[in-house]
Structure formats: structure tokens, C-alpha cells
Amino acid sequence: MQDQAFTIKVMTEKEVGIAIDWAAKEGWNPGLHDAHNYYKADPNGFLIGYLGDEAIATISVVKYDSSFAFLGFYIVKPEYRGKGYGMQIWQAGLAYLKHCNIGLDGVIEQQDNYKKSGFKLAYRNIRFEGSGGGYAPENLETIELATLPFADIKEYDKTLFPADRSGFTQNWINQPNSKALGILENGRLAGYGVIRACREGFKIAPLYANTAKLAESLFIALKTSTRYDETIYLDIPKVNQAALALAEHHNMKPSFETARMYTKEKPHLPLDKVFGVTSFEIG
């Protein structure tokens, strides 16, 4: 019997759902609408490997511009691991991102493997989980993000991400089963956050704010859109001590860590304003 050929192709939006399902099985708890939102970030940035007619490997290589990209969804079906298929799709993904500074959030145990491909540790992220619900004080200065001109949101977001991702952001803040809030300081946007429904519970992602006080106001307002018996998740850069204190104050517990790595220099971003990462999969 002739060996089946291993072929790699760009995913359709429907096939991105395969990567999402596999990520759920790996314990990454994706959002209910992540396939659509992630695909919009870069329709050419999702690769899938087939052995004959069977999908066996995935990787996302979202290119935001000619200089910055983010890698994720590097998954091989368990029964096909250790056979070289993962390395083939990995190399195809890196070829698409040639010359880019590539970021990724990898499991801690795989750091050495990523280092072999030129990735260097920048810092760690910690996923916290806790209970939803609660009541928001009446003096919270949060507003519905949709009431602001998108140009204001784009201007704020570009200070917190290494590349223009305005197309993605516009989809992200308007996705179904979510709530997006902003907070103003002296009439200007000084932070925003999004909470979205996931396979389990809800993730607050991102949570950006100029100060810890503003971040707490956003966090409380977003959290109160869920019930006490629902779980909320927040992914925090370990270098942001105020964000860690926020999680601790709200009785959130760490569940796992990732290694944020880059192939070139770590982008110069104000991580003291990042109280919650947007996505471990696409940055």
C-alpha cells in the first residue's frame, strides 16, 4: 500500500475551527467566536497539514505587517506526534514569516525546543481563574466601548501592541457573547477591556489601563456581567506586579504559565498598562 502524502495548505475559516477544537482538547479554553475573529487577523496565516484526507497538524502564523507576526496553534494530533509532520508544518509557517519578529506564548516545558528555532524568552504570562459576579459601584467611570469613535480605540491600542491590528480589534470588540468597556481620564480613553464567553466560563482579554485604579474599575465592571457560579480567566504578564496584585485581591488563583518569546528583540511596550493579554494564540 502506497504511503499517503502529507500536504500543507492555507486553512479556510471553517478549518480554523479544527485548530480551535484541538486547542480546547489541549486545555487552552478558546472563546466561542475565536475562529472567526482570529481568521480576520490574517486569512493567510493559518496552515493545516493533511495526511491523505485526514487533518493531522495545524499552526497559526498571523502576520500583522512586514515586521511583526505571532505564532500559535502549533498542534499535531497525538497519534501522529514524533513522526516529523510537526516540524514540516513548523518550517512552512516560519517560511511565511521570513524577516518578521515572531512572538509566541509557549508552554514552559517547550522553551528549549523554541530556542532551537531562534526564540528568546522575554517574560512569562500567568493565567488566573476566579469567580464571576459581584456588583459594580455606581461611581465607576466605565462606558460602553462602542460609544467611542473607533479612531480613539485604534490610537490607544497601537501603544500596547507591536503592530497595527485595527482590523482585528474592530472585530474583537464587537463579537457576539461579549462585553467591551472603556474608561476615560480627562476626557481621553485611558483603558479598555473585553470579556467574552469561552468553552468554559469567560475570559477578560485584553485588560488595558493607564493605572491600577482604572484597571480595577474595568475589571469589576466586566466581572459583574457574569454570575457568581461562572468562572472568569485573566492572563497576566508576570512582570506587571500591579496586575498580579489585582488578581490576588479578587481571590483569583494561577492555573498555568506560558513563556512569551520572540525571535528578535522584545518589543518596547508599556507592560505596566497590560493587566490582561488579548490572546495566547495570536498575541
Q: For position 138, what pLDDT does the model report? A: 74
CA nearest to 264, candidates 69, 73, 133, 106 = 69
Q: Among all chains, which residue has been given the C-alpha cell 508544518?
A: 89
- pLDDT of the residue at 1: 39
The alpha carbon of residue 210 and the mean position of all alpha carbons in its chain are separated, in whole angstroms, by 20
CA distance 278 to 235: 8
Phi, psi of 7 (to 5 degrees): -120, 145
How far is Cα 21 from Cα 211, in angstroms, rounded to an integer? 36
Cβ neighbors of 219 (< 8 A, separation 6 or more) are: 193, 204, 207, 234, 246, 250, 275
Q: How far apart are CA 229 and CA 251, in angstroms?
A: 14
CB 107 within 8 Å of CB 259: yes
CATH topology match: 6-103 vs 127-276: yes
pTM higher than the cut 0.85: yes
Contact indicator for 128, 257 with CB cutoff of 8 Å:
no
Tell me the pLDDT tens digit for each residue of 82-125: 999 999 999 999 999 999 999 999 999 999 999 999 999 999 99
Q: How many other CB atoms sit within 10 Å of the CB of residue 237?
A: 21
Residues forming beta bridges with residue 162, ordered by sequence position: none
CA distance 266 to 258: 16
User: What residue ranges do the domains of the chain occupy?
Assistant: 6-103, 127-276
The C-alpha torsion from 248 through 251 and 256 to 259, rounded to 10°, is -20
**What does DSSP say about strands 101-107 and 231-237: parallel, antiparallel, or unpaired?**
unpaired
Burial group, residue 223, by CB count within 10 angstroms (0-12, 13-18, 19+): buried
CA-CA distances (angstroms) from residue 234 to 154, 252, 259, 279?
A: 22, 9, 16, 10
Positions of the chain with pLDDT under 70: 1-2, 139
CATH architecture of 127-276: 3-Layer(aba) Sandwich (3.40)
Q: What pLDDT score does 139 carry?
A: 65
Q: What is the second-level CATH architecture of the domain 6-103?
A: 3-Layer(aba) Sandwich (3.40)
Give the position of cell 513522526.
83
Phi (first) and psi of residue 72, to 5 degrees: -160, -170
Residues 222-235 have pLDDT tens digits of 999 999 999 999 99
